[in-house]
Amino acid sequence: MIIGEVRLWKLTRRQVREAMRAAKIKGAILPTGSTEQHNEHLEMEHDTASALYVSHQAALGLYPQVVVATPMAVGISEHWMEFPGTLSLRPDTFVAVAYDICESLQRHGVEHILVVNGHAGNRPLANHMEDFGKRLGIDVQFCSYWEAYSEDFVQEILDSGDCPAHAAEFETSLAMAAFPENIHWEGVDYEGANLKIQREGYADRDPIYFRDGRDLATPKKGRVMADEAISWVANKMQGMIDG
């Protein structure tokens, strides 16, 4: 049940000021994603959209204690630059932007920040959390939302047993459940596209991921996996707030 607005960029300055003065806002979630190729059928924004979706739903469950900061919609995606449309930040730039957002939140009085990541390439940021925490004097932590899933859970829910993979069964299922408008099968002709993938070790996986996304993904799997991630992130954030 939606009980209030938790997305920082949708609030007015009065709403934020009053919530901070009343000490209602105790933590913030910073979603990090990417703008990068997601095979032939998913939109470039998938990682950003999924991190935001999980963060938003988790924060709604913790209302009014938690706000969601504006997502970082471009990540570290150098490895996908051969696919037109991919945008990439250098790792140092990405970390610097994340720090500045955390510092902004800290200066407004937020004491617990959880980075909820949706793109595996952004993981270098995890190594900076201790440094962020020290420099800002607050609690800053990093997670990728699929860390919610145990190996057994993945094997039980996904026929491919492969998570997160890339634009395959898992991500396509999640899109089906959370934002089906981001899936575009019309006009897709994988064989006819005559792809000449250069990235070593990926050329052979791309067609497998394509088929897994097309043949195995279902909205039901996506719903189960989204809900598991939402409650896991909410618990993690609540744990940070409770100390």
Positions that interact with Zn ion (CB under 5 A): 46-47
Smallest separation (angstroms) from Zn ion to the CB of 91: 18
Smallest separation (angstroms) from Zn ion to the CB of 171: 5
Question: Cβ contacts of residue 204 below 8 Å, gap of 6+?
Answer: none
- In the bound state, the residue with its beta carbon closest to Zn ion is 47
Smallest separation (angstroms) from Zn ion to the CB of 13: 34
CB-wise, 17 or 184, nearer to Zn ion?
184
Q: For residues 142 and 26, what is the distance between their CA atoms, to the nearest angstrom? A: 17
CB-wise, 41 or 46, nearer to Zn ion?
46
**Helices (H), strands (E): how many in the chain?**
8, 4
Distances in whole angstroms, Cα of residue 229 to Cα of each of 46, 55, 70, 217: 16, 9, 19, 17
CB-wise, 111 or 171, nearer to Zn ion?
171
Smallest separation (angstroms) from Zn ion to the CB of 51: 10
CB-wise, 46 or 112, nearer to Zn ion?
46
Question: Cβ contacts of residue 150 below 8 Å, gap of 6+?
Answer: none
CB-wise, 47 or 162, nearer to Zn ion?
47
Question: How far is C-alpha 138 from the geometric centre of its chain's CA atoms?
Answer: 22
Residue 86: count of CB within 10 angstroms of its CB? 18
| Rounded-to-10 torsion of CA 42, 44, 48, 53 | -30
Smallest separation (angstroms) from Zn ion to the CB of 164: 7
Residues in the chain: 243
Task: Name the token pair of 92.
Answer: 């140092």
Smallest separation (angstroms) from Zn ion to the CB of 46: 5
In terms of Cα–Cα distance, which of 117, 120, 159 is closest to 140?
A: 117
CB-wise, 111 or 162, nearer to Zn ion?
162
E runs forming strands in the chain = 27-32, 66-68, 112-117, 139-144
Smallest separation (angstroms) from Zn ion to the CB of 77: 10
CB-wise, 24 or 211, nearer to Zn ion?
211
Classify 144 as helix, strand or coil: strand
